Amino acid sequence: LSSDQEDRATEAKEKWGLDNLTVGYGVDLDKARDWGLYISAGKGVSGAGIEEPALFSEPGLFLVKPDNSVYFVTTQTMPFARPSFGDILKALDFVISKDYPARGEVVDHGQAAAAE
Give the Cα separation of 48 and 79 in Å (integer): 10
Predicted local confidence at residue 31, as pLDDT: 96
Find residue 74's DSSP bridge partners.
Answer: 61
Predicted local confidence at residue 20, as pLDDT: 87
Predicted local confidence at residue 98, as pLDDT: 96
Q: What is the CA radius of gyration of the chain?
A: 17
Cβ 58 vs Cβ 75: under 8 Å: yes
pLDDT in tens, the chain (116 residues): 789 899 988 988 898 888 888 888 999 999 999 999 999 999 999 887 888 899 999 988 888 888 998 888 889 998 777 888 889 899 999 999 999 998 888 878 888 788 87
